[in-house]
Amino acid sequence: MALDTRFLAELKARNHIVDVIAPYVQLKRNGTRHTGLCPFHGEKTPSFTVFEETESFYCFGCGAGGDVITFVMKYQNLDYMEAVRYLAERSGMQLPEAEGRNAAFQRRRRERMYEMHKLAARFFYHTLTGAEGRAGLEYLTGRGIGREAIVRFGLGYAPDSFSALKEELRSRGYTVDEMLAAGLLARSERSGGTYDKFRNRVMFPVFDLRGNVVAFSGRILGDGKPKYLNSPETEIFTKGSCVFGLHLAKNEPDGTLILCEGNLDVVSLAQAGFTGAVAPLGTAFTKEQARILAKYAKKIVVAFDNDSAGLKATDKAIRFLEEQGIPVRILQMQGAKDPDEFIRNFGRERFAKLVNSSKTPVEFQLEKLRAGLDLSDTAMKVEYLRQAVELLAGIESAAERDVYVLKLGRELEISAEAVRTEVNKKIRRNKAAAQRREIRSGEQELKGSYDRVNPERAGMIRAARAEEMILSILVRHPDLWQSAEKLLPPERFLTSFNRRVYSFLLEEYRKNPDAAAPAFTGAFDEKEMARISFFINTPVLRGDPAEQLKECVEILKNEGMKQVNAGELSPEELMDKIKEIKDEH
């Protein structure tokens, strides 16, 4: 359901886009524009721009764009109504009554899901500390986990029963359908009956950043499969957007987080005093998790398992974290496969030394390249040099690059100048290749190869640009909407996407003639919002906007005459079409 136009206009007016974005992005003012480093992709040169005049943002690096509602949706990982509710609460507004009822119903459903998870966590915790939980408690004790850590993380035990949790929650007033939606029950494909999803498992509650239990991860006791069982995605839980332990680690005083693979690693490290430990919840580390960590971390030490899978996961984590501009260090363990085992085998002090001596990503990658090579062998030495030069050529900072050039020269017993020459040659080749790719990409963009939003644009560039200028003028000068509609009805727009935007604008201005630029977010998807944000912020020539509007209309009508396909019309139809267009002129 679309929200009332006047409500959305008031919502945007009370939530000035610069004020909403400024706490998350360090913005530098330049007239009516503000620029900063994009929060949606890693960059070192600011390409993220906030436009006060149109109350919108656009990143010229990754193409993200939209209005204040879009930003909140994208940054906070919220859906449309959640973002609207967030902004309404921020500015002390009430949702419209009809939407308010629907929103209240949805909010109540989510609240019951949160409460259900809270009760389930208590049930698992009390079971662990009671007679039924002896097996679970013995497992944790055997892994060196004490009572303080159990309480800190709310650990529990799911009894080996098909209905214990179901009966507990049913006694609290929750229905089977609610438990299924929460992922706490599963349905048998054979009988159609329901049963407790987690059974005979040590339970790790998963908390969101506000401290709500949103899911569980259960470790099987014995040899059953899977070893770890995680909650399915629900209304309140998305695996790739949640980081285990971050609700506690986010307040780490020095901002250093230790990124582990497993939940037990986090618990074990926290118990040993490393309270900044977090884990990606049994899934592959994601870009979204890197973006979330970037809000809280000043430095991240990656301490994934010491096996081939862990090394691959480390490479991906380095890439995602560096894209977010976070300083990264790599911790490498000998004599243990993961942090939990290392702590148990060698103790806290040894692990602290590993943290303090953790390597930079470049040092880590150089060690990987060197592994297994005999540098006394000339062929191996040359191959190592070739791969190392390729790695160093990717370092943007000349000073940092030179540090490794000197180090590599010493290691291979060749002059630093020789290494530097090879690195600079590789940099030049990389730049030339990048320029060629950019030219090809630009050519393909002009041909419309990648235009999924407005595929017709490529075949009528001049007309599409005139349409986009008309839309840009109307966003800046809403008082011209009636003149625009009289000069050019929507059906005269030649590209269907721009026609849809134009029709939307006219309808919104018709509903609320005194409004500023309307909120596009509810009517257009994320990619469409980015395109709209891009062209409504196209610079408009100085002068009378009404005259500019007329000039664009003339261009569009002339282009429209070119689009008439005479071969598909009878002579009478062709003459009528030409007369119709001329009459409009």
Instruction: Sheet with 299-302: list strands edge to edge.
Output: 277-278, 256-259, 299-302, 328-330
Q: Does 204 map to a domain? A: yes
Q: What is the pLDDT of residue 310?
A: 86
Above pLDDT 90, what percent of the chain?
A: 49
14 in the same domain as 47: yes
373 in the same domain as 351: no
Give the separation between CA 195 and CA 205, rounded to whole angstroms. Answer: 19
Q: How many domains does the chain have?
A: 5
347 in the same domain as 268: yes
460 in the same domain as 439: no
Task: Calculate the alpha carbon distances from 161 to 155, 195, 199 in Å.
Answer: 18, 9, 6
Task: Please tell me what DSSP assigns to residue 542.
Answer: S
Q: What is the pLDDT of residue 445?
A: 47
* pLDDT at 497 exceeding the cut of 50: yes
* pLDDT at 357 exceeding the cut of 90: yes
Whether omega for the bond prior to residue 339 falls within 30 degrees of 0, making it cis, is: no
441 in the same domain as 388: yes
Average pLDDT taken over every residue of the chain: 86
Domain stops at, among 69, 95, 121: 95
Above pLDDT 70, what percent of the chain?
A: 89
Q: Domain with 304 in it: what CATH number?
A: 3.40.1360.10
Domain stops at, among 182, 205, 237: 237
Q: What is the pLDDT of residue 574?
A: 44
Per-residue pLDDT reduced to its tens digit, 175-217: 999 999 999 999 998 898 999 999 999 999 999 988 999 999 9
Per-residue pLDDT reduced to its tens digit, 257-312: 999 999 999 999 999 999 999 999 866 898 889 888 988 899 999 999 888 888 88
* pLDDT at 578 exceeding the cut of 50: no
Domain of 212 in residue numbering reads as: 108-237
Q: Judging by beta carbons within 10 Å of its beta carbon (0-12, 13-18, 19+), is residue 433 exposed, middle or buried? A: exposed
Q: What is the pLDDT of residue 179?
A: 96
338 in the same domain as 415: no
| Contact present, 87 and 68 (Cβ < 8 Å) | yes
Domain stops at, among 427, 445, 463: 445
Structure tokens belonging to residue 468: 């986009």
DSSP collapsed to 3 states, 441-504? HHHHHHHCCCCCCCHHHHHHHHHHHHHHHHHHHHHHCHHHHHHHHHHCCHHHCCCHHHHHHHHH
Q: What is the pLDDT of residue 567?
A: 42
